[in-house]
Amino acid sequence: MEVSIPKLGVLRQLPLAETPSEADSEKQMRRESGVSVPFVALGLITVAGFMVAAFCGIRWSLMPNFNTTDQHVADLRADYETRSSAELIREYEQMVGDGIELGKPFTYKRIADEKQRWGRIALISTAVGLLAALIAFGFAALGRRPATS
């Protein structure tokens, strides 16, 4: 197999290659590296959002679930049936001393409110994680597009 090598005079007559501009070379380097700063930042936000969502979801699932006020009243009745007369009199005296209007909600209501709060935080952080993931993949798709000349 023969390979023809042009002479130096012929090579000098060929047109010079165009030098790419600085902006084009920057875009080419970014395209070749494959990872952009917004993609990494949004990826970190995605991971953080999902970690917070997992933590809050676990907290939400581990909290007891009290259905209604009627369920609470039924539990109190069952508890009062097992108590002695002296304990019931002491509790009655405490109720009279504190007054009928309590300044804070019952324990079952506080637990239900806290469970609802954990669930809300889990949903919000899941939504933030999903949104950040979608935007990150959007940036990645835009970065992978071939340059139009």
User: Helices 107-144 and 37-62: crossing angle, nearest 10°?
Assistant: 160
Between CA 127 and CA 51 the distance in angstroms is 12
Region class of 130: left (phi > 0), else alpha (psi between -120 and 50), else beta: alpha
Which tokens in the block code for residue 56? 């809050």
Q: Give the pLDDT confidence score for residue 4 in this predicted structure.
A: 82
Q: What is the pLDDT of residues 12-65, one digit of tens each?
A: 787 777 666 665 666 666 555 556 788 888 999 999 999 999 999 999 999 887
Between CA 99 and CA 101 the distance in angstroms is 6
Q: Give the pLDDT confidence score for residue 71 in this predicted structure.
A: 81
Closest CA to 49 of 115, 118, 121: 121
Between CA 136 and CA 41 the distance in angstroms is 8
Region class of 31: left (phi > 0), else alpha (psi between -120 and 50), else beta: alpha
Choose between 21 and 5: higher pLDDT.
5
Q: Give the pLDDT confidence score for residue 27 in this predicted structure.
A: 61
Q: What is the pLDDT of residues 77-105, one digit of tens each?
A: 898 899 999 998 998 888 787 766 666 77
* Beta carbons within 8 Å of 22's beta carbon, 6+ residues apart: none
What amino acid occupies position 4? Answer: S
Q: pLDDT tier at 111 (50, 70, 90 boundaries)?
A: confident
